[in-house]
């Protein structure tokens, strides 16, 4: 197999594994190999591992693994934070080790030595800011303000009390069982940040995502330019044409240049593939959350809407079974529906969602962005509401 195919395979396998692990549970992948790989990576492999431990070390071994699992998955812990720091630290160290000796180079000025350090430092700052900022904790002192800021829509949010915090639950809030607190405009609990993403820190989280996406793109391009500079400085093209009689065309030269680069700079090539794959993932993740911000929805609410729509559909189907198709929104179910059809059917379902969803919190593009950048609880009017309600 030629070298560039090997690199393509490496990129595809890395991409499949990373996407399956991180995104395989998304509804869009349901019933696809991505979801099967996700199940294997998250539960299947673990089940086999538990069986293996049980067979070799007995109950004591199994109990030890289960207590580690409890600590890692059911309690707030800094494991993923440490992994993030290890990834960013190791990646930057490898970049410095392998590429800084070529900067300044043919295509890059010295500014990238300091620019890259600054870019990583800003990334770390955004990480710490998101990790340690208050996501918008709902407490007895501020619950009345949050109840006022986020009225109930009586569709997916109705008047309730948090059974743990023993305070009313404002609309859009959720009790995080890991952080053991109610969080306003709860999006999700982020393991990487070991913090909830909520009303007050969604803006930092978004800045973290876009910055890390740009950081990966910057890294990929910079390393690419280092390698292009190496090709230029080593006069590889000249040597190939003059001494090896290779045709002076991109088509003829490219495989030899790729071969030389993989031999001489394999670490940088692997690093480029890694950064490109991570940048794609971050772009997808950012796009998903940007869409939520622009429509004033949260990850938590997308699940709630799914439940609501399923519940509505069931209601409609029950009506249809009784011969009363009041809304005309039910679709003809076909038991022989092919897998392909059911896959695309999920997109059709979104059309139904558009019809059914009445997101009262969506106040338009600019208002929604404003609400993320300047959350209610950071505005002067928020505390003024308190003096009014007192
Ligand atoms: Zn609570
Ligand atoms: Zn949490």
Distance from residue 106's CA to the centre of ligand 2 (Å): 48
Å from CA of 11 to ligand 1 middle: 43
What is the C-alpha separation between 344 and 338, in angstroms, rounded?
A: 10
Helices (H) and strands (E) in the chain, counts: 14, 5
Q: Which residues surround ligand 2, an ion (CB under 5 A)?
A: 176, 178-179, 189, 196
Distance 71 CA to ligand 1 centre (A): 21
**Lowest-pLDDT range, 75-84, 117-126, 320-329?**
320-329
C-alpha of residue 166 to centroid of ligand 1, in Å: 7
Residue-range domain boundaries for the chain: 3-77+100-133+223-274
Q: Which residues are catalytic?
A: 190
Centroid of ligand 2 to alpha carbon of 177 (angstroms): 7
Give the sign of the dihedral formed by CA 363, CA 369, CA 372, CA 377. negative
In tens, the pLDDT along 132-143 reads 999 999 999 999
pTM: 0.78
Ligand nearest to the CA of 174: 1
- The closest of 209, 207, 195, 205 to 134, measured between CA atoms, is 195
The average pLDDT across 358-375 equals: 94
Q: CB–CB of 42/20 below 8 Å?
A: no
CA–CA distance from 298 to each of 193, 304, 361, 372, 390 (Å)?
17, 10, 11, 11, 31
CA atoms of 31 and 340, how far apart (whole Å): 10
pLDDT tens for residues 173-229?
Answer: 999 999 999 999 999 999 999 999 999 999 999 999 999 999 999 999 999 999 999
Confidence of residue 1 (pLDDT cuts 50, 70, 90): low
* Gyration radius from the chain CA atoms: 26
Q: Is the dihedral of CA 285, 291, 296, 302 positive or negative?
A: negative
Q: What separation in Å is there between the alpha carbon of 165 and the centre of ligand 1? A: 4
């Amino acid at each position: 197999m030629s070298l560039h195919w090997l690199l393509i395979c490496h990129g595809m396998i890395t991409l499949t594994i990373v996407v399956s692990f991180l995104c395989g549970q998304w509804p869009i992948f349901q019933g696809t190999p991505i979801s099967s790989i996700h199940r294997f990576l998250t539960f299947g492999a673990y089940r086999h591992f538990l069986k293996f431990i049980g067979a070799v070390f007995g109950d004591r071994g199994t109990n030890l693994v289960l207590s580690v699992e409890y600590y890692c998955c059911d309690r707030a812990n800094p494991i993923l934070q440490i992994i993030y720091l290890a990834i960013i630290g190791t990646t930057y160290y490898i970049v410095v080790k392998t590429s800084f000796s070529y900067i300044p180079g043919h295509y890059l000025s010295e500014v990238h030595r300091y620019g890259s350090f600054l870019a990583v430092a800003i990334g770390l700052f955004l990480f710490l800011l998101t990790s340690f900022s208050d996501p918008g904790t709902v407490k007895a002192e501020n619950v009345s303000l949050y109840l006022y800021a986020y009225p109930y829509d009586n569709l997916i949010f109705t008047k309730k009390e948090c059974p743990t915090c023993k305070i009313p639950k404002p609309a859009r809030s959720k009790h995080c069982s890991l952080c053991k607190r109610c969080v306003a405009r709860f999006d999700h609990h982020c393991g990487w940040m070991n913090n909830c993403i909520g009303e007050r820190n969604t803006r930092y989280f978004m800045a973290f995502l876009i910055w890390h996406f740009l950081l990966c793109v910057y890294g990929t391009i910079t390393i690419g330019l280092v390698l292009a500079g190496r090709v230029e400085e080593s006069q590889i093209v000249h040597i190939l044409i003059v001494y090896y009689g290779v045709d002076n065309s991109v088509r003829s030269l490219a495989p030899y240049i790729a071969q030389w680069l993989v031999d001489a700079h394999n670490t940088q090539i692997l690093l480029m593939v890694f950064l490109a794959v991570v940048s794609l993932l971050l772009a997808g993740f950012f796009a998903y959350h940007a869409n939520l911000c622009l429509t004033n929805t949260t990850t938590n609410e997308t699940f709630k809407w799914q439940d609501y729509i399923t519940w509505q559909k069931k209601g409609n189907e029950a009506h249809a079974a009784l011969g009363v198709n009041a809304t005309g929104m039910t679709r003809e179910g076909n038991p022989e529906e092919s897998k392909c059809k059911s896959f695309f059917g999920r997109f059709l379902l979104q059309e139904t969602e558009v019809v059914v969803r009445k997101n009262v919190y969506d106040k338009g593009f600019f208002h929604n962005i404003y609400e993320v950048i300047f959350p209610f609880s950071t505005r002067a009017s928020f505390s003024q509401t308190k003096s009014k309600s007192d």
